Amino acid sequence: METVHYQDYKGKRVHFIGIGGISMSGLAAFLVDQGYTVTGSDILEGYTLKHLREIGVEVWIGHEPGHVHGADLIVYSAAITTMKENCEMDEAKKLGLPALSRAALLGQIMSSFPKSVGVAGTHGKTTTTAILSVILLQAEKDPTVFLGGKSVELGGNMRIGHSEYCVVEACEFSGSFLEMHPDIGIILNIDDDHLDYFKDMDHVYACFESFAKKITQEGMLIGCGDDPLVTKLLAEADCPTLAFTIDGNGDVNATDIEYDDMGNPSFAVSYRGEDMGRFQVPMPGRHNVYDALAAIAAARHYGVSTADIQGGFDRFSGTGRRFELKGRVDGITVIDDYGHHPAEVAATLKAATRYPHNRLWCLFQPYTYSRTKLLFDQFLTCFDDADRIGITDIMGGREQDTGEIHSMELVDALNERRNNCTYLPTFERATDYLVSRLEPGDVVITSGCGNIYLAAEMLVEKLTLAHARG
């Protein structure tokens, strides 16, 4: 079958099915900048759609066959591929319209940049991508960036540069990062996520192994030397490698970690024996040190000076939905975090123990039925650092509810361990419950990769209203 190339459709109409996704919206904005006419559809409104409409993209809420009429090229998200049917995709096939997956389009765009970085790993991709991007901005490299979150410094979830540099958050779901051929590949860690797609951990490892093999002899594979599976990949790689570690013997190493009053880490860094000084990340938690080291390693490989790397850290203010402060009302602090895998939730709550607080609350929205079921036992221990836990209904996302798992099962099992968990199915119920029980000094963390951030915003509004009423 003839390969579809997006560049053959410049000046024509490209229709995105599932345009509201964080990656899809960034790609849509890139094509608009390159002179394409872009339309799109999605099932829900979201903050990404506002920006797309502002730059001239026609967006429809809901899928209809007629939306693809007149389109020259179709781009579809990974979520669409997991659906049994989609009326727009079905219509596009009937009309014989050429189509590209999100991953294929992103891979083609990356291939046009001589110096491209793919940031992969189960956890920490967004933070690492954002830090590296800000460093390159500081060094006046003018990078193009595709980010799986929002960054103040980038002005959103992507940035269009005009240089040879491109930095991309490389998602492993459905093997999408295998469409990439980066100059630098970063693997932060390898964990048991997306098991609705991957058969088992052997399959997960094999996928990351394939990603590593995309790196040529002229490139560099950068990985965490404290992660056993990543270390194995580095040892087996056919290309040059760099390992980063904490208190180890990696090529890039962090030592002497200290935490400020807000739990933010600072640390000394050496690069192949060279003392680079101390760095600080404005986000709590030891896990963010690893993300910082990966960014430092990639920047130094590209010849960025220590002064510019340090300047990048000085500019970096964090990313949206990564321990993001949503508000403080009457001594109550509300923080939102993207953590949805048990390892991420545990790391966030561990980091929060260093954050000033009286009681630590976690309101968690499970995402997908398969993840909740497959990682059930891990979910039972990941909340151990929270004083109180609230669990909402599962957000199905790309999955249908088959009745095999329910949030109440998780609540009951958690209560058997510590009796500190409450089932709060809706955001309305959850926020009312919290408002009636929170006290000055309490910290609430809303956690999950769905729309739980709306609960955080709702909670701040209700606390503010309660304050106004006295």
Q: Where are the domains of the chain?
A: 6-101, 113-315, 324-469
341 touches 191 (CB < 8 A): yes
Half-sphere exposure of 65 (CA within 13 A, CB side): 7
User: What is the reported pLDDT for 83?
Assistant: 60
User: What is the reported pLDDT for 194?
Assistant: 53
Indicate the DSSP class of residue 319. Answer: B
The class level of CATH for 324-469 reads: alpha beta
Whether the per-residue pLDDT at 202 is higher than 60: the answer is yes
Q: What is the pLDDT of residues 379-406, one digit of tens each?
A: 999 999 999 999 999 999 878 899 999 9
Q: What is the pLDDT of residues 60-75, one digit of tens each?
A: 999 999 999 999 999 9
Q: What is the pLDDT of residues 282-297, one digit of tens each?
A: 999 999 999 999 999 9
The total number of residues shown for the chain amounts to 470
> Exposed e or buried b for every residue in 369-404, given b needs 16+ CB within 10 A?
bbbbbbbeebbbebbebbebbbbbbbbbebbeeeee
User: What is the reported pLDDT for 197?
Assistant: 58
* 6-101 topology per CATH: Rossmann fold (3.40.50)
What does pTM read for this prediction? 0.91
- CATH for 113-315? 3.40.1190.10
Res. 257 pLDDT band, cuts 50 70 90: very high
Of 39-53, 77-91, 121-135, 361-375, least confident by mean pLDDT is 77-91
Res. 427 pLDDT band, cuts 50 70 90: very high
99 touches 75 (CB < 8 A): yes
User: What is the reported pLDDT for 38?
Assistant: 98
Closest-CA residue to 323 (of 453, 137, 222): 453
170 touches 116 (CB < 8 A): no
